[in-house]
Structure 1
Amino acid sequence: MPNSGSSKPGSKVSDPQHSQKLLRVLRTFWQEQSFHDALLVVDGEELPVQKNILAASSPYIRTKLNYNPPKADGSMYRIELQGVSMAIMKQILDYVFSGEISVSEETIQDMVQASDLLLMTDLKSLCCQFLESCINAENCIGIQLFSLHYCLYHVHYVATEFLQTHFHDVALTEEFRELPPNRLCEVLAMEKLNVGNERHVLEAVVRWFAHDPEDRRVHMKEVMSAVWLQGLDVSYLREQAMGEPLMREVIREYCQAFLEAGQPHGADLLAAFKPRGYSECIVIVGGEDRNTRKPTAEMHCMCPLYDPNRQAWIKLQSMSIARIGHGVVAAEGFLFVMGGTDEQNTVLNSGEKYDPDSNTWSTIPPMLQARQNFGVVELDGLIYVLGGENDVTELITVEVFDPHFSTWKMQTSMTMIRKVGCYASMNKKIYAIGGGSYGKLFDSVECFDPKTQQWTGLCPLKERRFGSVACGVGQELYVFGGVRSQENDNPEQRHMTTCKSEFYHDEMRRWMLLDDQNLCIQTSSSFVYGAVPIGASIYVVGDLDTGTSFDYIREFRRSTGTWHRTKPMLASDLSKTTCAALRIANCRLFRLQLSQGLFRIRV
């Protein structure tokens, strides 16, 4: 028998199903209208509820209860809600007890409004996921406006990106033709509209005008001011001036002065030229200067899909602080840099944000912990910082940054130290891969689900490694480079060798070696700095030893599974840098190239 007089605490035991069992019983009480102690009044209808359940689920109702507590006379407490329908409220109550809710394109707007009123942030996040999945050419403009009204910032960003990318299809929809003049001007003013030729913008304006010519004629001067006339070909305008009546009217009234002046040439053409669209650029930030061996604040970009020579970097505005061992990631149209060490070898917690539209940097709030050599990934508009080390110890902590509210918050820590590991996001989850600690190399992989705030183990890599880079695309996860110790009978004669590239498919649940292993030869002289997905390819940046020379960027084509040369390494290329993919407006790139004497982008 145990000693009843012992003062030692007992061991804790737990039932993992406890919360689910309790919720099922509470749901039964609600369905049977048992043990209710209040009436929820919605649209004049009464619904029996339990105050404590509602208060636990909704901060809004909890505040109402605090400011208007139940009366002591024992009368039934009434909670009156306005702005929510009974049908939506019943669905929300069902969600409270089950964690699941059925939404459709017909009900999503009412559900967002209700979750916003009740301050139910988790339900609002679920609505955001549904809205993102619904975005198409027919509704992206409406979702863009609706999401901004309810502060659904990531949904607004996704809808805006879709509008810019698929403007051709959007301009043919009823939603586009129904736009009020001020909203139409906002759309046409977007520099990143993917139109190829400005005539598509003009034709979209004429279709909008034709939808209601009498009422819209008075707004046409304002609307046409958003069309970049310098991007229109004079011969095209003269041809269209002989066409349909409304097109003739638009050209006669708003393009005549441009036609009489004629197409600009030379310096005048360059000064007026404003190409629409955007380029997905490889951006490298900070690192080490190869000559001085000191940290640098420089930043450059390259457009691999549009620069056929792929030799010239476009210089962008430098950071305010030189950094090495830092993290860089693109999120919500901006580039974020944080942490690392400066020229005095001080480990930093500071961060900066780069705006590609203005080519400027601004500071962001510091991280909760200073760190270097860490992982950083973007997921659903949030930035996650993982692991790394400070000047005292290795870290397993995880922080998340919300770019829209400029706030940092701690998350569930990783389960183990992963010094010089690699990190990526894929399919709404974050993956921590490989790395090492205390002289050991790892092949283990763990996965973090932000919904459950839990880390779970995954199928291990084929090879143990550290110093590799990872990249998630769709349902595929890629790991490139890194090194490991080569097996040898004599431990004293072991040396480091470059690891093979691997990929993981979310449905197959296992790692496989890539068929083409020509990223670099298997020597310890190759180092990888980052992997950037652009289009159907992944571009790996690093000091890549090809056997006869070094490449700085190599392209992996996912469709064929093969490697291709992209850019040889030059003495001016940064060492130990970090990189990311960033969408930059073509007109901004053109101006930068013009000022730097570069003309290799096709616009």
Structure 2
Amino acid sequence: MSKSTDKDLDDEEFTIVVEGKSLTCQKSLLREKSEYFRAMMDSSMLESQTNTVTLLNQEFSVLSSLIHFVKTGELKISCGGGNMKNITEAAVMLQIESAIESCTAYWKKTLDHETCLNLMAFSKLLNLENLFSCAKRHSLYYFSQVRQSIDFLQMEVEELTEYLSCPDLNCTSETEILDAIMAWYAHDKPGRKSLLNKLIPCFHGEDVQQEEWEAVQNHKLINESEDWKTYINNIKEKGKEMKPEEKFRNLPVIILTFGGYIVEKGCEQPSTDICKFDDSEKTFKPFHKLKDIYPEVGPKMGYQVTVIGKDVYLSGGQLSMTRYSMVMDVWKLDGFDLQWEKVTKLSSPRRHHGACGSQTSLFIMGGFGKYRDILDTVQQYDTVDDKWTDLPKMPHTWFTPQAVCCENKLYVYKTHLICLDLVTLEWTTVRRTPCSVDNMNTFIPYYFNNCIYEFPFLDQELDWFYEFELGKLQLQKTSLETGKWEAVPYSDSIQFGNRSFVCNGKFYTINRASNEFICGYMQDFSLCKELGTQGKAGQDCFIVVFPHYPVYKIKS
């Protein structure tokens, strides 16, 4: 048969009969878009000879939408998306890959705390790995919100056990696991009483802090089951001996560095790289280019890098010290897909400002304005509502302050430690910072276990300050309960670098003496391990560590 005849055959109309009604489409289009129809047409099946097939157990309206998609690339979605479940199932059955991608894109837009568990089950049933991975990471990271959904309360015990037993689950403590099981049990006590024992392995005593055990033993769930009570009493004794490295739950994280400077041929040059720690090669390697965000990358740009939940925000800065070219765009790196986007603009220019984040808000304060005027203004950006709010001004005009937000309070460091109550919106002075040189912020604060830990901080501009003051700088903490400030002992093998970061109960820093990248445990400030070398990470770079989930595969 000649090639022209083959083309003529492909141009023939193919008829699909559904519910007694007929749909027609060119064979060439069906062959191109659908593996199902391609296999049918390439076989010796009767349908390939008659150019007609009857599909059972399908709806005409659903197949009509899919054939319309094959012809036009447009997916017809009914009001409210009521037909999308059936369209997705049919697209999978007919192996129309482009339609499957469009359906997946639709479902991703509906992904939230209420839908993620249902979408995870739905995508698992249809073997939609991309959608499954997105739904699973959402359900794991937003556990505190997801556990309040109706889909969570209606989970089968096997599904619940698998979900709560995941080491990647983002729970505040194991008490939250007990709260979640109790809510699930209370949803149907008569039908679930006998199932409580199956959920015992979901609780991990090795993750319980000593001060939490009383709350665990007095929890409502424990009084519902003698087996649970016996298990908790036994695991408590074992828990006393557990070490930080034996924790079960650990959020998967990604480690990035931003900017800093590199030394080439004895000269310091600003680093243009955002580097990612490569765990397989144990070193930092270029990941993104700062020039993809900032048209010019120079020294002393004065931008801030802030982690808010699972995302990283870049705010403020100046491209040119001579032209006063200020950066107004605020960029976000999404912690799920690692894609950058502009999310908002500063209401007024600022550089060398302070910045910190809560779970949903970015706080910026102080810094230099456009004409080197030192600022006392404070602003809050709500990342959910995309809204800026002016907060009361600081009692001082400060540039390069350090800040941390916790317990509805904003703590800001410079020559004093001051606090803004985010409920009463009043500033108070907590104490003077223990630094003998005015206008030198020498600590980076982090919140952990109801204390603010102040990590030593010296940047490249303070090299002259090292030999005079380095011996006086030490790790310290302030208890938010008592207000007591004290030094914190730590391993002699740790020398904190110019910048440190705290995430998931661990601190990360580049050892000043060896240039090795290390991490340690916040619980006892013991050295966890030397992770690797500084590699391509710039000196005096920002270090950020934030949750980043792997691609989850559907288990067969």
Normalising by structure 2, we get a TM-score of 0.51
Q: Report matched runs for 1:151-300 at 5 Å.
A: 151-211=127-187, 216=192, 219-229=195-205, 231=208, 233-240=212-219, 247-250=222-225, 252-259=226-233, 268=241, 270=243, 274=247, 283-284=256-257
1:477/1:68 Cα in 2 relative to 1: closer, same or farther (>3 Å)? farther
CA deviations on 1:27-62 (whole Å, 9 max, x unpaired) are xxxxxxxx9732113356432333233334334323
The answer as to 2:108 corresponding to 1:132 is yes
- Asked if the contact 1:148–1:156 (Cα under 8 Å) also holds between the matched residues in 2, the reply is yes
Name the counterpart of 2:43: 67
Q: Please, which moves more after superposition, 41-50 or 221-230?
A: 41-50
Q: Give the whole-Å Cα distance in 2 for the aligned partners of 1:482 and 1:187.
A: 46
CA deviations on 1:181-214 (whole Å, 9 max, x unpaired) are 3221111113454443423321322343455566
CA deviations on 1:57-82 (whole Å, 9 max, x unpaired) are 3343234323349999xx85113446
Q: Give the whole-Å Cα distance in 1 for the aligned partners of 2:58 and 2:266.
A: 63
Q: Tell me which amino acid in the other structure corresponds to 1:235.
A: E
- Asked if the contact 1:41–1:81 (Cα under 8 Å) also holds between the matched residues in 2, the reply is yes
The alignment partner of 1:116 has SS state of helix
Name the counterpart of 1:421: 291
The answer as to 2:344 corresponding to 1:518 is no
- Asked if the contact 1:95–1:101 (Cα under 8 Å) also holds between the matched residues in 2, the reply is yes
Q: Tell me which amino acid in the other structure corresponds to 2:328.
A: E
The alignment partner of 2:160 has SS state of helix
1:83/1:595 Cα in 2 relative to 1: closer, same or farther (>3 Å)? farther
Q: Give the whole-Å Cα distance in 1 for the aligned partners of 2:325 and 2:357.
A: 19
Q: Give the whole-Å Cα distance in 2 for the aligned partners of 1:288 and 1:116.
A: 51
**Cα displacement (A) at 1:227:** 1.0
Q: Give the whole-Å Cα distance in 1 for the aligned partners of 2:360 and 2:259.
A: 25
- Asked if the contact 2:88–2:100 (Cα under 8 Å) also holds between the matched residues in 1, the reply is yes
The match for 1:501 among 281, 304, 327 is 327
**Cα displacement (A) at 1:127:** 1.7
Q: Give the whole-Å Cα distance in 2 for the aligned partners of 1:537 and 1:200.
A: 26
Q: Give the whole-Å Cα distance in 2 for the aligned partners of 1:594 and 1:143.
A: 37
Structure 1 residue runs of 5 or longer lacking an equivalent are 1-34, 296-323, 329-335, 338-351, 355-359, 364-371, 377-419, 424-432, 442-465, 487-496, 521-530, 541-545, 548-554
Q: Give the whole-Å Cα distance in 2 for the aligned partners of 1:467 and 1:478.
A: 11
CA deviations on 1:252-297 (whole Å, 9 max, x unpaired) are 212225437866787x2545984868598863289877699799xx
The answer as to 2:526 corresponding to 1:597 is yes
**Cα displacement (A) at 1:160:** 2.6
**Cα displacement (A) at 1:535:** 4.2
The alignment partner of 1:222 has SS state of helix
Q: Give the whole-Å Cα distance in 1 for the aligned partners of 2:94 and 2:65.
A: 13
Structure 2 residue runs of 5 or longer lacking an equivalent are 1-10, 332-341, 366-370, 373-377, 382-387, 392-398, 403-443, 445-456, 461-494, 509-518, 529-544, 546-556
Name the counterpart of 1:31: none
Name the counterpart of 1:102: 77
1:467/1:43 Cα in 2 relative to 1: closer, same or farther (>3 Å)? farther
Q: Tell me which amino acid in the other structure corresponds to 1:421.
A: K
1:586/1:502 Cα in 2 relative to 1: closer, same or farther (>3 Å)? same
Q: Give the whole-Å Cα distance in 2 for the aligned partners of 1:220 and 1:50.
A: 57
The answer as to 2:63 corresponding to 1:89 is yes
Name the counterpart of 1:310: none
CA deviations on 1:94-121 (whole Å, 9 max, x unpaired) are 2334424215454323222222333333
The match for 1:565 among 365, 378, 401 is 401
- Asked if the contact 2:66–2:75 (Cα under 8 Å) also holds between the matched residues in 1, the reply is no
Q: Tell me which amino acid in the other structure corresponds to 1:499.
A: S
Q: Give the whole-Å Cα distance in 2 for the aligned partners of 1:511 and 1:239.
A: 46
1:119/1:539 Cα in 2 relative to 1: closer, same or farther (>3 Å)? farther
Q: Tell me which amino acid in the other structure corresponds to 2:62.
A: I
The alignment partner of 1:515 has SS state of coil
Name the counterpart of 1:434: 295
1:258/1:58 Cα in 2 relative to 1: closer, same or farther (>3 Å)? closer
Q: Give the whole-Å Cα distance in 1 for the aligned partners of 2:305 and 2:148.
A: 40
CA deviations on 1:391-436 (whole Å, 9 max, x unpaired) are xxxxxxxxxxxxxxxxxxxxxxxxxxxxx7324xxxxxxxxx6369
Q: Tell me which amino acid in the other structure corresponds to 1:597.
A: S
The alignment partner of 2:132 has SS state of helix
CA deviations on 1:128-180 (whole Å, 9 max, x unpaired) are 22212222343321212322444544433432343234434433444223323
Name the counterpart of 2:476: none
Q: Give the whole-Å Cα distance in 2 for the aligned partners of 1:292 and 1:594.
A: 42
The match for 2:362 among 516, 529, 537 is 537
Q: Give the whole-Å Cα distance in 1 for the aligned partners of 2:258 and 2:14.
A: 59
CA deviations on 1:550-598 (whole Å, 9 max, x unpaired) are xxxxx985345898633444468989x9x9x9x9655899974458527
1:124/1:472 Cα in 2 relative to 1: closer, same or farther (>3 Å)? farther
| Percent of aligned pairs with the same amino acid | 14
- Asked if the contact 2:302–2:351 (Cα under 8 Å) also holds between the matched residues in 1, the reply is no
Name the counterpart of 1:78: 52
Q: Give the whole-Å Cα distance in 2 for the aligned partners of 1:326 and 1:219.
A: 53
Q: Tell me which amino acid in the other structure corresponds to 1:101.
A: K
Q: Give the whole-Å Cα distance in 1 for the aligned partners of 2:18 and 2:120.
A: 29
The match for 1:117 among 60, 78, 93 is 93
Q: Give the whole-Å Cα distance in 2 for the aligned partners of 1:225 and 1:112.
A: 36
Name the counterpart of 2:483: none
The alignment partner of 2:76 has SS state of coil
Normalising by structure 1, we get a TM-score of 0.48
1:265/1:190 Cα in 2 relative to 1: closer, same or farther (>3 Å)? closer
Q: Give the whole-Å Cα distance in 1 for the aligned partners of 2:32 and 2:135.
A: 33
1:517/1:597 Cα in 2 relative to 1: closer, same or farther (>3 Å)? same
**Cα displacement (A) at 1:539:** 9.4
Q: Give the whole-Å Cα distance in 2 for the aligned partners of 1:373 and 1:205.
A: 43
1:140/1:216 Cα in 2 relative to 1: closer, same or farther (>3 Å)? same
Q: Tell me which amino acid in the other structure corresponds to 1:434.
A: P
1:373/1:58 Cα in 2 relative to 1: closer, same or farther (>3 Å)? same
Q: Tell me which amino acid in the other structure corresponds to 2:229.
A: C
Give the CA RMSD over aligned residues: 5.9
